[in-house]
Structure 1
């Protein structure tokens, strides 16, 4: 085969590869734009929350398969309804069936394994609907609210549900304002300093109980309500 033919074939192959890569890039960009458009649409149709913060609030926590809402999944949702006096009036807890498998590292961290999910887990859509009914329009409090809110809203998007219109409040930021200068603001560190039981750490309901105590104490320390 002559060098000209070889050169022609190599050039054609390179051109074909270039066109393929351009096609894949354009498809990825279009996919991202479509995703952004759907997010904007869903944000526009979320229900308005009109609940009075003085009527209580819901502390919630999620356990997940990782740190990225786009790449990982919720495996447990829990919540506590808290009265204006700081009393627990109702609880909610649900294991969630993920599409992928739970890694050994997450099982070690949370204690949640595939067998537990198989026995007690429910589909994500069912868990989300039940939690939405539980929370109603009450303000939602999470220890690291941006993290949990991101997972919650990404799950709404996946299930074709409106995102939560509730107000969100961060117990971590409230704790920083209430007790400045602490060496650590991890939930476990603050809970231990407050003398709280650390059993079942990284299980959603137990973390809700610790967060509820800290949030109520921090609000009392600041002499304020949600803002």
Structure 2
């Protein structure tokens, strides 16, 4: 059975970081949560991936990050994986499949892989083996009501039922929101561009 992956990341942030593109000293986009779904061609979820990651440069989460995502310091300290471990696990989940994000999460993923390697950590599995694609430009074109919407609100913009338990800015919930949007569009005869699924 052919499958593809939808993924979403939550990463460290501070007040004003988004507007300044994380350009302030020491403000790196370190991954704190990875969520992913493996989907069949008819958009049925066959497997979920969800993990917390312990940031290295900024191990203390900002109050702004916790307020945005609901992820607290205690959870990350207790359940977070070391970055190289989490990144290797996620790339294994993606192997041999097209991997879709709503936005340039693959850039943040690449940054984190680079930092881990610079620290001398081994990343198992190549990030180049799966084909990573940003579907946001395509989705915003075929469904213009989504143009100003983040991944966790796609279901709302399209008038769909809540796709899963949870809230936006939880990586796995945001993946379910993306998947619901794709399934809805497919039901209207709008399919992903060739090579993305």
What TM-score do the two structures reach when normalised by structure 2? Answer: 0.77
Equivalent in 163, 169, 172 of residue 133 of structure 2:
169
CA displacement at 1:214 relative to structure 2 = 1.0
Counting only pairs closer than 5 Å after superposition, residues 136-147 of structure 1 correspond to structure 2 as 136-144=95-103, 146=104
Work out the CA distance in 2 between the residues paired with 1:195 and 1:187: 13
CA displacement at 1:181 relative to structure 2 = 5.7
Q: Contact between 2:32 and 2:55, CA under 8 Å: does it hold in 1?
A: yes
Q: Which has the higher helix share?
A: 1
Which stretch shows the higher mean deviation, 178-187 or 111-120? 178-187
Which ranges in structure 1 are unaligned for 5 or more consecutive residues? 1-53
The reply on whether 1:155 has 2:126 as its aligned counterpart is no
The reply on whether 1:191 has 2:155 as its aligned counterpart is yes
- Tell me the secondary structure at the aligned position of residue 144 of structure 2: coil
Classify 1:171/1:218 alpha carbon distance in 2 versus 1 (closer, same or farther; 3 Å): farther
* Structure with greater Cα Rg: 1
Deviations 1:128-173 (CA, angstroms, capped at 9, x unpaired) = 11111111121111111x2x11111111112224433322223322
Work out the CA distance in 2 between the residues paired with 1:143 and 1:56: 18
User: In structure 2, what is the equivalent of residue 74 of structure 1?
Assistant: 31
Work out the CA distance in 2 between the residues paired with 1:226 and 1:183: 18
Work out the CA distance in 2 between the residues paired with 1:97 and 1:74: 8
Q: Contact between 2:95 and 2:129, CA under 8 Å: does it hold in 1?
A: no
Work out the CA distance in 1 between the residues paired with 2:41 and 2:3: 5
Work out the CA distance in 2 between the residues paired with 1:92 and 1:213: 17
CA displacement at 1:218 relative to structure 2 = 3.0
Q: Which has the higher strand share?
A: 2
- Tell me the secondary structure at the aligned position of residue 91 of structure 1: strand
Classify 1:182/1:92 alpha carbon distance in 2 versus 1 (closer, same or farther; 3 Å): closer
Aligned residues between the structures: 172
Work out the CA distance in 2 between the residues paired with 1:205 and 1:136: 19
Following superposition, which runs of at least 4 residues in structure 1 exceed 4 angstroms of deviation?
none
CA displacement at 1:187 relative to structure 2 = 3.0
Counting only pairs closer than 5 Å after superposition, residues 206-221 of structure 1 correspond to structure 2 as 206-221=173-188
The reply on whether 1:58 has 2:5 as its aligned counterpart is yes
Q: Contact between 2:152 and 2:175, CA under 8 Å: does it hold in 1?
A: no
Equivalent in 152, 155, 167 of residue 200 of structure 1:
167
Which ranges in structure 2 are unaligned for 5 or more consecutive residues? 118-122
User: In structure 2, what is the equivalent of residue 22 of structure 1?
Assistant: none
User: In structure 2, what is the equivalent of residue 51 of structure 1?
Assistant: none
User: In structure 2, what is the equivalent of residue 128 of structure 1?
Assistant: 87
Deviations 1:180-217 (CA, angstroms, capped at 9, x unpaired) = 36673333443213233284211111111111111233
